[in-house]
A and B are shown apart, each in its own frame.
Chain A
Amino acid sequence: NAGVTQTPKFQVLKTGQSMTLQCAQDMNHNSMYWYRQDPGMGLRLIYYSASEGTTDKGEVPNGYNVSRLNKREFSLRLESAAPSQTSVYFCASSPETSGGARENIQYFGAGTRLSVL
């Protein structure tokens, strides 16, 4: 069971460089999410996608763009990296629930540790 797969695991960038973080899930989930994790800040939502073809901003979207390429893949792009974007990035996905269930159980990848110098 692969679950949610993120690549790369580690990346070092120079200020101004661009890169794309990749995320893929094999659980046929409709919803996908990108978070960043910083010390003392917990997880903050960057962008999310409720279904293929739709994306919405989260709490901290500035400096990022996303693409929901298909149902499986949801990528996060940094167009011009800044030191403030040094963080650990997590992708997550969640399944549909039926019968009006009030759950939003999310499944996380192992993360990408990004340093911007």
Chain B
Amino acid sequence: GNSVTQMEGPVTLSEEAFLTINCTYTATGYPSLFWYVQYPGEGLQLLLKATKADDKGSNKGFEATYRKETTSFHLEKGSVQVSDSAVYFCALSKGFSEKLVFGKGTKLTVNP
């Protein structure tokens, strides 16, 4: 079946550090890939997405590239801020009619 594996957290960084959160997936066919972010006390919101191989999703300084050869969609940011502290979820979907499959989430804390 379809599944998503994320690096386990928590991840603690200093402000302006480089961030990588690893995500790999298992799926038949060609899924769409997503990163969602959950700020403290809130619901999830879409951060970025990619729908085909080699696509790069980007938003708010975050980037992730759909790598079919390594079945990966790692999240990166060059310089994190305290306001980036949140839980990040990688997810996949094989199409609109398919349900989202989420990873377990990675908690990021950024210290000033």
**A→B interface (CB under 8 Å):** 4, 33, 40-43, 45, 48, 50, 58, 90, 92, 94, 96-97, 101-111
Contacts and interface: CB of A to CB of B under 8 A. Distances in A.
B42 A110 contact: yes
Given A90-B43, A103-B51, A58 B89 contact: no
Contacts of B41: 110
B95 interface: yes
B interface residue count range (under 10 / 10 to 19 / 20 to 34 / 35 or more):
20 to 34
Nearest to B51: A102
Main secondary structure on A side of the interface with B: loop
Interface string B76-112: 0000000000000100011111111011110000000
A42 B105 contact: yes
Nearest to B105: A42
Contacts of B42: 110-111
